[in-house]
Every structure is written in structure tokens, then in C-alpha cells.
Amino acid sequence: MNRRTLLFLLCASAPRLLAAQELVVEKNLEARMRDGVVLRADVYRPVTNRRLPALLQRTAYSKNPADSNSQYHRLARAGFVVVVQDTRGRYMSEGIAIPHDEGADGYDTVEWVATLPWVDGRVGMFGGSYSATTQLLAAPLRPPHLVALFPSASYASRYDMVFQGGAFYLMDGLSWNLGQAQDVKRRRLTPDVSRDGELGLTPAQRRQLQDEWLWALPLQTVGGQGTSGDPAGELRQYSPGYFDMLAHPSFDAWWYTFDVSARHREFEVPAYHLTGWYDALLTGTLRNFSGLRASARTDHARRNQRLIVGPWTHARPSASSTRIGDVDYGPAAGFNSESLIVAWFRHWTGAANAAAAGVFPGAPVRLFVMGENRWRDEQEWPLARAKATSWYLTSDGTANTAAGNGRLERAVATAAPRDTFTYDPTRPVPTGSSGAYSRAPHDMREVEQRPDVLVYSTEPLTEPIEVTGYITLRVWISSSARDTDLTARLVDVAPDGTARALTDGIQRARYRNGRTTPELLVPGQPTEIAIDVGATSNVFLPGHRIRVEVSSSNFPRYDRNPNTGDPFGANARVQAARQVIHHDARYPSRLVLPVIPR
């Protein structure tokens, strides 16, 4: 970031707060949607006679903040009318929620906010995760008073979030829908809008139930038939959307409603995309940025897409958040995202017309490069100067565990013994602890002791290698099963042996040729499978090693492939699979890394 840009952001976010003025907070203002359903919102606004621009957040997680100095209060003191609305069927809003079907309600709400007597007609939208979805599905409908977005941690395709490589996002999906079911049950039992809270299971009971259901098979019948009062049935009764997802394991017309990338050409507003390298929605955020920058409807929108990626999880970063678990990325990792939100919306809701306000200053992309732990400005994503570089998997026939002889080499071996392992769905490789919708830089040494994990490493590096971009592992496998999964994890191994996870991916074999039409394997026949291992920006320092782990499960983040080839989620039968990984001149299994010249 150059000095001019830094000064702009500092001035734009300086404390022009209305500290001497109290805020007015109005609860449960009613907005009527086009179908007559009433959604309720809280409004935070400064005491002033001036009309101000509005910032809208639509949330599925209750519009009531946890404290009296929330982000909503602070943004209002910065000179905005802040409107926070419960989405349809959630908390104080009427109707029946259809998760993620938020386009029409978003349009109607933007236009309603623009008519409020304290609003000058300009509306921005902000928020992360589900609240990013509410922005990105409303914007392509082009509400006339919408001027800019600030989506944090977004998906580009809901299908690709739910079925990553064709594997179901079991832990996040079950946890999210149990939470939704809790609130829907509360609303049905206590429809009085003066009540706001949850009834039903205690947090401990919910965790116990979730842990039991993670292992339950068949997936499509988890929760029984929806018997009232029976926790094993109330998931289906109060959160049927969970089972709608399970009923569509292939990409089809049902998923199109929730596909942001299919609507990139309809966007007309600037958007600032924020995410973290350990956010499970990282790839979706990256693809929204690059897709909108290339394909948005107007030049104004295309030129004003911005992206920032830091060493963060799914949680919103703060000035004091420099760690993930036991990894500290240094003081530069702290980031005041709220100041950036203020600067962004002041720019687009300033005195000049938003469309005439010009390009937001600074480079379009700002990345935190791990390993060296520093920020760097870039002109595009992915980086044009990245060079796709292959490291070939090889071994002496025993790559099992970190103590094995798996290697990553720059030249493909003309002949090499194959590696084998057994994937048993009753003993899957554990994900390890991580927050919802987040990965983590765990030390993988314990997992790397398992014989069903193949480990391939370079020799200690003699010079730094920067990897910034999308990672792919292309593996030749022959399996005894008609369907199975392949997993991959990129790891940075320090001289002391610490094996820090960077990113991972999974591919269900039946979807190896596309997400619309499953195709089973021929048992025993070598087949190349490409695994999307996500994205990262990391410098592997001298003395470190580049490592990739290969296995067939990552549980409970993803559901276990039963290896039977049966229809998805329909029965409880599982069987072990013998997996053979080929790596020679005929079957060149390889890790493809985007290396940045230095």
C-alpha cells in the first residue's frame, strides 16, 4: 500500500464520529415484502437533522447485538444510518425461511431502506458469511438505490460450498441446520415478536446430538420423520432445507437459485471482498472477486472490485487478531476491518454521485504472504506472473506415514513402486479441531502417523519458494471400490518437524469428470483424479520442506464415502477399499503449485 493510499484510508476512517451526539435506536421497524410478508429491522442512527447514507445488513443470526457498543453502534457514530434486519422466517421476521433464497427480499429491503426519512437515498450492504450471501444474491437484481457492497467470506456457488468436490460438508451443514432448527422451533412455540431467544435443546444437548448424528447413516434419514417433541425428528421438521441439500448431490436446476457466479454479468456496483487463508469460503470469495472484475455488467463495477486476504479464519479480523491457534503471524496480521468498511462506504456514499466518484484508491488486491508474514499489493488474482510448477510424487513403495519414504521431486520417475493403503469408512482420518467454516494451521504430525495417510515431502529447501494461488493435486489411483474419495493437504514442514497445514481439498471419484453427471470407477483400473486443494499464499523458507498428504477421508468436515457406489446417502452399508497410488512415467501423479518468481 503506497503512502497516498494509506493517508486516504486513515483520513477516511479517522474519528469523525458523532461522539457528542447520542444515537437513536429503533426496534422492529416493519418492511413489507412484495408477497406481503413483514420483515423486521432495527435502526441505529445519529441524532441529526441531516439525511445520511444507509448501511444495511440482513442476517439469519438475530439482529440483536451482543453488547451496547456493537459494530452497528460504531458505524452509526461514523455517520451512517445502520439498518439490521432479520431475514425471512428468522427471529423477529415473518414468513418461512428458505435458506439462501435471499434475492427478492434483499431487493425489496434496499428500496425500503432508501425511503426511510433519515436516509438520503444511498444504500450500501455489508456483512459476512450468510450476510454476504444476502448481498450477492440481491445485487444482480439491481435495486436502484444500492451503491456498493462489502461481502466478507462468500461463496460463488452454494453447490460448491455444500458438495466440495462432490463430498458433503457434513460438520458445517449439520451444525448450521441444527442452529436454524432451534430458532424455527422457538418461533413456532413463541410467535410473540417481543420474545427473542431460543427454546429447546441446551448447548450441551445440541453438541451431543450433533456428535451422534455425524456418525449416523444413512445420511438422508438422519432425524427420523419429524415427530414433534422428538429431537431425532425435529431436524427434519424444523430445518427441512438440510434434507433438500442431501436430495441434490449433483449440480442441477435446484442449485441455480443460489449460484452467485452465474449472475456475475448482472452486477453494477462496486464490492470489497474480504476473506482469510483459513476460511472455508476462501475459494468462493476469490472467484467472486475475479469473476466480477472480468464480467460485471458495467465498467464502473468491473474497475471497482477489491480484494483483501489475510491470515484469518471465517471470523471477522480485528486489530488484535494475529493468531490462529498456536500460530502467531506477527503484529502486521492485525487488521481493523471496520475502518476499511467506513472508508469504503464513505467513498461511495460521499457528496458526489457514486457512479461519478471514480476508482477507489489503491491496488485492487492486498494479500498477506505467510511464511514471511507481510502484506503485499497486487494488480490481479490469480497472479499473472505465477508459474505452474509440478512436483512429482514418488517413493520406494512405502509412503505411508511421515516415517515412510514418500518424496516430492521435480522430475518424474521413469519407474517406481506403487503406494497402497486401506480406507476404512469406520475409521476415517480425523479433521482435527477447527471452528465452523474454518480450517486451521494445525500441526499434522499426529495424523501423519496413520498408515492410511501417504506423505510426500521435498528435501529441505536451499532457497525460499513462494506459492501464491490455486493448488492442484493430480493423482493416478486404482481402487477396489466403484466410488471412493481422495483427499489432499498442503503442509509447510519446519526444520524442527512441525508440519503446519496450509490448505486442503477432497474429490469424490464419481464426480471426477464434472459435478452434473456422476460416473463410477472401474475397480482396479488406473484413473487420474484432480483434487482442488484450495488456495494459499505462503513462502516456504530455507530449511523447510514442501509436503502433501494423500488419503481418502477428512471426517467430520466431509461425509464418509462408503465405497459402495450406491446412491448418495440412501443406505448404511459401508466397505473398506484398497487404494493404489501410481507415480511413474506412465502415471505421473503430481502436485502443481503456482510459484512466484523471486
CA distances from 414 to 31, 390, 399, 457, 586 (A): 68, 16, 18, 19, 8
* Whole-number pLDDT of residue 564: 97
* Whole-number pLDDT of residue 66: 79
* Whole-number pLDDT of residue 100: 93
Whether 445 shows a pLDDT value over 70: the answer reads yes
Is beta strand 454-457 parallel, antiparallel or unpaired with respect to 545-551?
A: antiparallel
Comparison of pLDDT for 326 and 21, the residue scoring more: 326
Comparison of pLDDT for 178 and 117, the residue scoring more: 117
| Confidence tier at 277 by pLDDT (50, 70, 90) | very high
Whether 483 shows a pLDDT value over 70: the answer reads yes
CA atoms within 13 A on the CB side of 424: 6
Active-site entry in 105, 108, 160, 279? 279
* Whole-number pLDDT of residue 8: 39
What class does CATH assign to 3-160+257-378?
alpha beta
Comparison of pLDDT for 494 and 237, the residue scoring more: 494
Grid coordinates belonging to 364? 485492487
Rg (CA), the chain: 25
- Residues 73, 107: contact at Cβ < 8 Å? no
Is 100 assigned a catalytic role?
Answer: no
What class does CATH assign to 387-596?
mainly beta
Going 260 to 265 to 270 to 276, the CA torsion angle's sign is positive
* Whole-number pLDDT of residue 21: 54
- Domain(s) of CATH 2.60.120.260: residues in the chain: 387-596
- Domain(s) of CATH 3.40.50.1820: residues in the chain: 3-160+257-378
* Whole-number pLDDT of residue 12: 41
Active-site entry in 100, 273, 314, 442? 314
pLDDT tens across 179-200, in order?
A: 888 778 777 666 554 444 444 5
Whether 544 shows a pLDDT value over 60: the answer reads yes
In single-letter form, the type of residue at position 298 comes to: T
Is 438 assigned a catalytic role?
Answer: no
175-180 CB contacts, 8 Å cutoff, 24+ apart: 175/210, 175/436, 176/436, 177/235, 177/239, 177/241, 177/242, 178/206, 178/209, 178/210, 178/235, 178/239, 179/206, 180/60, 180/97, 180/99, 180/238, 180/239, 180/241
pLDDT tens across 342-383, in order?
A: 999 999 998 445 445 678 999 999 999 999 999 999 999 999
pLDDT tens across 199-222, in order?
A: 456 777 777 777 888 999 999 888
Whether 410 shows a pLDDT value over 90: the answer reads yes
Q: Where are the beta strands (DSSP E) in 281-396?
A: 305-310, 323-324, 327-328, 365-369, 374-378, 387-394
Active-site entry in 13, 93, 129, 395? 129
pLDDT tens across 43-102, in order?
A: 999 999 999 999 999 999 999 987 888 999 999 999 999 999 999 999 999 999 999 999
* Whole-number pLDDT of residue 1: 47
Is 314 assigned a catalytic role?
Answer: yes
Whether 499 shows a pLDDT value over 90: the answer reads yes
* Alpha-helical segments (H) within 257-408: 282-295, 299-303, 337-348
Whether 112 shows a pLDDT value over 80: the answer reads yes
Going 70 to 71 to 75 to 78, the CA torsion angle's sign is positive
